[in-house]
Structure 1
Amino acid sequence: MALEVVEICAGAGGQALGLEKAGFEHALAVELDENASATLLRNRPNWDVRTGDVVDSSLWKPDQFEGVSLLAGGVPCPPFTIAGKQLGATDERDLFAWAVELVGSVKPQALMLENVRGLSMPRFAGYRQHVLDRLRELKYVAEWRLLQASHYGVPQLRPRFVLVALKEEFADYFHWPEKLGEPPTVGDTLFELMAADGWRGAETWREKANKIAPTIVGGSKKHGGADLGPTRAKRAWAEIGVDALGVADAPPTVNDDPDFMPKLTTEMVARIQGWDDKEFHWEFTGRKTSRYRQIGNAFPPPVAAAVGKAIAAALKKETNPHERSNNLKGDPIYRVLRESGDFMTAAQIARAIERKIEPSDATGLKLEPHELERRIALLGRDFQIEMKESTSATAYKLGEFRAFIGQDDHVRHEHFLKNRAKIS
């Protein structure tokens, strides 16, 4: 059974290589950054790689790939990152909801989207529930899972929030990949590269670098050159003997002090992301800062391969079927407002939650009116919330989703054109 994938926001190929190892052949890869596209073509010159805005209908026609085995992508993470403003649906870079809507025209057998851990936080409970509801309307069964890259052989603290959805006929055959055991340390992973030019301190450094790495931060074009992360990450790097203030052009040499604290090269960063010279070999194009960003922003290939293999097995129905259950609860306020379709006061919402929502779904939700109002205001960051005042109370009604899902008049287009040179 031939499995084909259309990959959007493909980056430099972390997810692409992993899916290839899982048995998928690329029907198309779409990427905005020219350097990342050049990297894809350097490694897979026969692929159909298209460079530009993925939502541009002149770049590709989604309906031409109708029925493909898998639609996959690593859509931009800034709308959800914990370190950012968490603008979600109101961030012009948000393509997550658009990618979900794309399922309606591509009609893939399966969908896989990955993003940062921030999307799993309570702030985005309503956003996540909307995604699940929309996929259910499209006849897909979807599930979220927070995966740790270190569980799949990647020597790095890199949690990724993954959405997998399958057509109903395949859904019960999908099982999330099992953990593969303990990952190697940074020292063991990079020793060969650190010692390549005869550095006399390599063995001692290997012993000190006896942990897995902090999360590699790729950054964006809005910021300066290659850098391994914020202040706390730099301290963690220093504890394992790495100078995180920049990226080196070459490994330490025989002339360097054995006690010197080395910087990482882009090749070393790639190793920490899961690329290697054997199973996950890959070459990167462009200048050092561009290479670093391509590597740092990637979905680690071993993690993509693990999830890809699980999806492939489900599409081939090679596993034992089991009943699906989403382990991440949605927003009960969103659910009762959506079900009502009318104005509700905070007291009415609280009673509806108590009456209709399973207690486990509302865990940790305080039902006092002021807390409900705070949560409604939070929900209003991703959805239009209509308000109707009366002498006794304020009533709320859930309106339209604020996210870009393909609207011709959405503010996303204006912001994209204005900031095109800074987007990566």
Structure 2
Amino acid sequence: MSETFEVIEICAGAGGQAYGLEKAGFTHRLAVELDHNACTTLRANLPEEVVAEGDVADPEVWNPADHGPDNDLGNRELDLLAGGVPCPPFTIAGKQLGANDERDLFAWAVEQVAVVRPRAVMLENVRGLSMPRFAGYRQHVLDRLTSFGYVAEWRLLHAAGFGVPQLRPRFVLVALQAEYADYFEWPEESEHETTVAEAISDLLGKHGWKDLEDWKKKANKIAPTIVGGSKKHGGADLGPTRAKRAWAELGVDALGLANDAPMPDDKFEGKPGPKLTNEMVARIQGWFGEFSDWTFTGRKTSNYRQIGNAFPPPMAYAVGQAIMRALKKESVASNRQVDQEHDPVYRILRDAKDFLSADQLVQQAELPLGIPELEKRISMLRHDFHVVTKKRDNTIVYKLGEFKAFIGQEDHSRHDVFLKNRAKIS
């Protein structure tokens, strides 16, 4: 195997995942991103020629087939396909439209695995994707990857477990070709948490703010999840109402950002404390210590969105290291048990050659709560799949129809909706 390990990263944002993967030893063949401001930041940190700007699903921006095993460009086998595909389709704070959201690219990304055939895959998203609402969606993803010859597994990881002073759970999918799968071990999360005070007190006190020591006592814990917002919703503040209350308990005014740290005699009457600068927010997102050497470009609000929407570099580094070890086969094969079961109702319907009754589904899926549980699962499946029902002998019977998600179809509604909302998507 070559000593160079190449990654193509889709929906790369401003480079949180890119930075972590580069630190783990991967070299970018491509980093594809839609947002112009984020691309400018990527070009300031990566070789300019590897940054591709535009819709990741547009073959004129990049063509997955150019990087597959039968490509005509002389590209060797890709080591890793990675990305942080858009979160809004799955976020708990949103409508959780999943496959019906024009921003959903998770299913599309999974289909590209069959085209590119990388040794490994790493895709991350928000915790909402781990909820029961998306059990069928997750099962579809696992089943597709299995059919491509990969061993895939989801894992909920927490930023605080990797030294990031923030409550930021991320749902990560890792898939490897069978040859490497037994060598993969998920990185372990540390029980030690870096606090906000530890991360940014030197920045907050750089002008000699006299109330710093009192502030540090309030900020001796981790922060709530930073919310970067989007062109459509959210500005340069630190999150919704509940998050602002949590920031207030830390002695931070979350209603906007500051241009500089407090001066020595600054008081914040009627406020919980000072506002943070982008430099402080970047540290809370994981850009500190060995991950400090990264340049953000653009204006303040754009910088904040880039930072706030990023995958924390230390998390990307930890998962990237684990994948690298597997690709190098450095550890003894673990024969680990991989959980491939997320929704038995989906799997039974998928494999059925004919309609199935409710009683048949309950029995085959071994649902402990019977019909009520089945009805709930069918209701959730309908969000992302067409589920056909009809009456047979006075009994309702079910059959699984098409997946609603965009996976590259030329006639999918995603195209028109995407073009209509292009200026608002980030």
For normalisation by structure 1, the TM-score amounts to: 0.95
Cα 1:341–1:291 change in 2 (3 A) is: farther
- List alignment gaps of at least 5 residues for structure 2: 69-76
Whichever residue aligns with residue 44 of structure 1, its letter is L
Residue 178 (1) aligns with residue 178 (2): no
Residue 311 (1) aligns with residue 314 (2): no
Q: What are the superposed Cα offsets for residues 95-125 of structure 1, whole Å, 9 maximum, x if unpaired?
A: 0000000001111000000000000011111
Contact 1:280 1:301 in 2 (8 A): no
Q: What are the superposed Cα offsets for residues 49-106 of structure 1, whole Å, 9 maximum, x if unpaired?
A: 0110001111111122222100000000011101111111111110000000000111
Which among 220, 233, 249 is matched to residue 230 of structure 2?
220
Whichever residue aligns with residue 250 of structure 1, its letter is D
Equivalent positions of 1:354-373 (< 5 A) are 354=366, 365-367=368-370, 369-373=371-375
Q: Which segments of structure 1 move beyond 3 Å, counting only runs of 4 or more? A: 277-280
Shift of 1:400: 1.1
User: Could you say what secondary structure the match of 2:399 adopts?
Assistant: strand
Contact 1:95 1:404 in 2 (8 A): yes
Shift of 1:332: 1.4
Q: Matched residues in 1 for 2:252 and 2:100: separation? A: 38
Q: Matched residues in 2 for 1:180 and 1:119: separation? A: 24
Q: Matched residues in 1 for 2:416 and 2:399: separation? A: 29
Tell me the equivalent position of 2:422. Answer: 420
Cα 1:311–1:47 change in 2 (3 A) is: farther
Shift of 1:342: 1.7
Tell me the equivalent position of 2:71. Answer: none
User: Could you say what secondary structure the match of 1:409 adopts?
Assistant: coil
Contact 1:114 1:160 in 2 (8 A): yes
Moved more, 36-45 or 325-334: 325-334
Whichever residue aligns with residue 267 of structure 1, its letter is E
Residue 341 (1) aligns with residue 353 (2): yes
Q: What are the superposed Cα offsets for residues 271-320 of structure 1, whole Å, 9 maximum, x if unpaired?
A: 00000264342111111111111000000000000000000000000011
Q: Matched residues in 2 for 1:110 and 1:116: separation? A: 21
User: Could you say what secondary structure the match of 1:6 adopts?
Assistant: strand
Shift of 1:348: 1.2
Q: Matched residues in 2 for 1:402 and 1:109: separation? A: 28
Whichever residue aligns with residue 33 of structure 2, its letter is E
Moved more, 44-53 or 168-177: 44-53
Shift of 1:47: 4.8
Q: Matched residues in 2 for 1:228 and 1:69: separation? A: 36
Contact 1:177 1:306 in 2 (8 A): yes
Q: What are the superposed Cα offsets for residues 140-183 of structure 1, whole Å, 9 maximum, x if unpaired?
A: 00000000011111010000000000000000000001123412
Which among 229, 246, 249 is matched to residue 239 of structure 2?
229
Whichever residue aligns with residue 369 of structure 2, its letter is K
Shift of 1:46: 4.3
User: Could you say what secondary structure the match of 1:129 adopts?
Assistant: helix
Moved more, 223-232 or 86-95: 223-232
Which among 73, 83, 103 is matched to residue 83 of structure 2?
73
- Percent identity reads 64
Tell me the equivalent position of 2:23. Answer: 21
Whichever residue aligns with residue 357 of structure 2, its letter is T
Moved more, 300-309 or 395-404: 395-404
Equivalent positions of 1:146-161 (< 5 A) are 146-161=156-171
Tell me the equivalent position of 2:413. Answer: 411
Equivalent positions of 1:25-424 (< 5 A) are 25-66=27-68, 67-257=77-267, 261-276=273-288, 278-327=290-339, 329-354=341-366, 365-367=368-370, 369-424=371-426
Tell me the equivalent position of 1:357. Answer: none
Q: Matched residues in 2 for 1:316 and 1:42: separation? A: 30
Q: Matched residues in 2 for 1:234 and 1:240: separation? A: 10
Count of paired positions: 414
Moved more, 279-288 or 249-258: 249-258
For normalisation by structure 2, the TM-score amounts to: 0.94
Q: Matched residues in 2 for 1:184 and 1:153: separation? A: 5
Moved more, 157-166 or 86-95: 86-95
Contact 1:199 1:258 in 2 (8 A): no
Contact 2:142 2:340 in 1 (8 A): no
Q: What are the superposed Cα offsets for residues 206-257 of structure 1, whole Å, 9 maximum, x if unpaired?
A: 1220000000001111124211111111111101100111111211112412
Q: Matched residues in 2 for 1:292 and 1:371: separation? A: 43
Q: Matched residues in 1 for 2:211 and 2:57: separation? A: 50
Q: Matched residues in 1 for 2:48 and 2:191: separation? A: 35
Q: What are the superposed Cα offsets for residues 8-36 of structure 1, whole Å, 9 maximum, x if unpaired?
A: 00000000000000000000000000000
Moved more, 223-232 or 24-33: 223-232
Q: Matched residues in 1 for 2:136 and 2:11: separation? A: 24
Whichever residue aligns with residue 240 of structure 1, its letter is L
Contact 1:18 1:305 in 2 (8 A): yes
Contact 1:98 1:405 in 2 (8 A): yes
Q: Matched residues in 1 for 2:58 and 2:165: separation? A: 37
